[in-house]
Amino acid sequence: MADPLRVLAWPAGDPSDLNPYVRRMYGAFRAPAASVTAFRPLMRRIPAADIFHIHWPEGIFEGSGSNNPAIVAAKAARVLNAARGIRRSGGKLVVTAHNVTPHRDLTGWRHRVWHAYHARLLGQIDHLIGLSAASLERYRAAHPAIGAVAGTIIPHPHYREDYSAIPRAEARAAWAIPDGIWVLGMIGSLRPSKNLVEAAEAFLAIRRPDEMLLIAGDAGDDDIAARLTAVAGRSDGTIRIVTGPLDDARFASAIAACDACLMNQTSTLNSGTALVTLSLDRPLLAPAVGTLPSLAAEIAGGWVTLFDPPLAPPALRASIDTLRTSHRAAAPTWSRSTRCDCPRRCSRDSRIWRRADLGREALRIVDLRRLAQHRLTLAVPRLQRTVASQPGLYVAPVRGRAQRRGRRRGSPTARAGARYCICPRR
């Protein structure tokens, strides 16, 4: 039996995650064939791995310390060091192309940290995963430095097994929506990149008395919440803003309470929200950007209506009229395998990773010497254990002229007061 594939994943998928994509993907990576370990930028020790799989490099701006420049910079350095160390040990860095640019509006020190960090990370990528051919092509076009990096397509799954179907009447009662109202929803995190205020203004200009725009989700940006509330205050109750975290049940309930859902995120590459909306049998109104045109072509029956951004009030009015009068099948039909048939599908994907040469590789001597330079400051017993795990290396004492030369030049050996070095076996 082949050695298990050790995947260090960032993130690895937590039951508390709103988006179930990651835990669905890793759900079939089971021992003894594969193991998945969660990476955290500030974790004390980086475990050995064959694959370091990063989904969202912009995760350095999330979690504790996200407003502290020093902590964010430390997270960025830690990610880069983890990638470098795993690659020097024969592993590979794999990145899934979720977003061309971060959803968060990066200004000031965040902009500087991101561009320095991301440029260095791109230079270490060994393999790309795209959720569609179109998304992979667009990601490469946006980042010419990785234009020649190999890639694999692993389609986004649907979420029919992740969210329970909720009757429309029950969902509307939970959200206090009266009968006879046609509801357009924008459900999920309230981020600047989603152009929520612009969508609310467009709806305000063309609304009818029997129509409502429901915007619900966690508002990490107080300014967006305030601006949305101001627009809603001019809508005579036809725009409702509900801020706060949404767990899985309430997220699904909000979508089920809508007659259709609207996306206005013009910079999107892939959209989990689009898949959730369709998985819960709600039509989608979305911009013709990223992979959404291919999704519209794939899902038969008029379940996806596209518009050319930016969203103008006349286009929104025409789209709503189309959605209100068109007849669709009872549920969206998926023309290809836009679902994760675990474990068959995921085990196949793990084989793709192996065939794409994402397993172990022999280290070159130059890499061994670089590794040695970083290990010289370690205590000797730990140094010997480290070297013992690397074929072709041994620990040797530094004596005489080499030791004196190191002291004069201020080498890492001299600074650490060490008398040992790592040498390649002949």
Three-state DSSP at 280 gives coil
**156-174 core/surface letters (b: 16 or more CB in 10 A; e: else):** bbbbbebbeebeeeebbee
| 178-230 pLDDT tens trace | 999 999 999 999 988 899 999 999 999 999 999 999 999 998 767 999 999 99
Q: Is 330's pLDDT higher than 90?
A: no
CATH class for the domain made up of 168-334 = alpha beta
The whole-chain average pLDDT of the chain stands at 81
Three-state DSSP at 422 gives strand
Run of H or E including 27:
none
Confidence band for 267, pLDDT divided at 50, 70 and 90 = confident
Beta-bridged to residue 262, according to DSSP, are 285
| 35-75 pLDDT tens trace | 999 999 999 899 999 999 999 999 999 988 999 999 999 99
Fold equal for 5-157+341-355 and 168-334: yes
Q: Hey, where are the domains in the chain?
A: 5-157+341-355, 168-334, 365-424
For the chain, the distance separating the N- and C-terminal CA atoms, rounded to the nearest angstrom, is: 31
Contacts of residue 418, defined as CB under 8 A and 6 or more positions apart, other chains included, come to 376, 377, 380, 398, 412
Question: What is the pTM assigned to this prediction?
Answer: 0.73
Q: Is 344's pLDDT higher than 60?
A: no
pLDDT of residue 415: 35
| 15-25 pLDDT tens trace | 666 578 888 88
How many whole angstroms separate alpha carbon 65 and alpha carbon 61?
Answer: 8
Run of H or E including 230:
helix 222-232
Three-state DSSP at 242 gives strand
The CATH classification of domain 5-157+341-355, taken from the options 1.10.10, 3.30.470, 3.40.50, 2.40.160: 3.40.50
Give the burial class of 234: count Cβ atoms within 10 A of its Cβ; 0-12 exposed, 13-18 middle, 19 or more buried: exposed
